[in-house]
Amino acid sequence: MNKASILFIGFLITLATSWIGLVLLPASHYNTQAAQLPTAFFTNQEIIARGQQVYQANGCIYCHSQQVGTRHFRSDQERGWGNRRTVSTDYLRDTVALLGTMRTGPDLANIGIRNPSPQWHYLHLYDPQLTSPGSIMPPLRFLFEPAKENPSADAFTLPDGRRIEPTDDARALVAYLLSLKRSQGELPEAFEPPPK
């Protein structure tokens, strides 16, 4: 090979084929699907959008996935992480798909169903050892502040007697977590034949 122009065309073609298959096709498919939905479908509450930003900013995704696998492939459903597999349409409402690739912590696809108590989440975020001894999750104490003179309704007392309350970031994060109910409702594409 001694022609740079032929090499160059080869580089372009090899990359372009995969670009068509793995970038263009998914993008046009899901963009079309999203475009067919009424705008009202996407109106997420502001607090949930902010909570998702807090989730992204603090890298929850590096330990927590948000996807439930099929029964024959993974033990997710037996662990109680969801009562059906998640499919791509379950993420249509999101602005960013936070599927995750690690399970250093449990899956969160349905955490809003599995643990709907905001008090539990506040305590857990403040210090995971209080609710889940042995956890290796980092404490997110910086999302809380000492309770003010007129404490908010969600202020709480720690085992050592100190009273603290969540910052707006913590409130938003918990609102986001409680909104995660991805396996809700039956979908034909999520159907799995019952195990033999």
Site for other proteins in 79-98 (CB under 8 A): 79, 85-98
Tokens of 20: 């068509």
Contact indicator for 131, 123 with CB cutoff of 8 Å: yes
Q: From CA 96, how far away is CA 52, in angstroms rounded?
A: 9
Is residue 104 part of the contact set for other proteins (CB under 8 A)? Answer: yes
Is residue 74 part of the contact set for other proteins (CB under 8 A)? Answer: yes
Q: From CA 146, how far away is CA 144, in angstroms rounded?
A: 7
Tokens of 53: 């930003």
Q: 81: which residues sit within 8 A by CB, 6+ positions away?
A: 68, 106, 107, 109, 110, 114
* Closest C-alpha to 176, from 63, 53, 40, 41: 53
Is residue 60 part of the contact set for other proteins (CB under 8 A)? Answer: yes
Stretch that binds other proteins, among 73-81, 117-125, 148-156, 158-166 (CB under 8 A): 73-81
Is residue 8 part of the contact set for other proteins (CB under 8 A)? Answer: yes
Q: 10: which residues sit within 8 A by CB, 6+ positions away?
A: none
CB of 26 to other proteins, least distance (A): 4
Is residue 110 part of the contact set for other proteins (CB under 8 A)? Answer: no
Q: From CA 111, how far away is CA 119, in angstroms rounded?
A: 14
CB of 97 to other proteins, least distance (A): 4
59/151 with CB nearer other proteins: 59
Choose which of 50, 128, 165, 174 interacts with other proteins (CB under 8 A): 128
Is residue 23 part of the contact set for other proteins (CB under 8 A)? Answer: yes
Choose which of 44, 47, 49, 61 interacts with other proteins (CB under 8 A): 61
Sign of dihedral through CA atoms 180, 96, 92, 94? Answer: positive
Stretch that binds other proteins, among 115-123, 137-145, 148-156, 157-165 (CB under 8 A): 137-145
Stretch that binds other proteins, among 9-17, 110-118, 148-156, 171-179 (CB under 8 A): 9-17
Q: From CA 94, how far away is CA 132, in angstroms rounded?
A: 29
Contact indicator for 144, 164 with CB cutoff of 8 Å: yes
Is residue 12 part of the contact set for other proteins (CB under 8 A)? Answer: yes
CB of 186 to other proteins, least distance (A): 15
Is residue 135 part of the contact set for other proteins (CB under 8 A)? Answer: yes
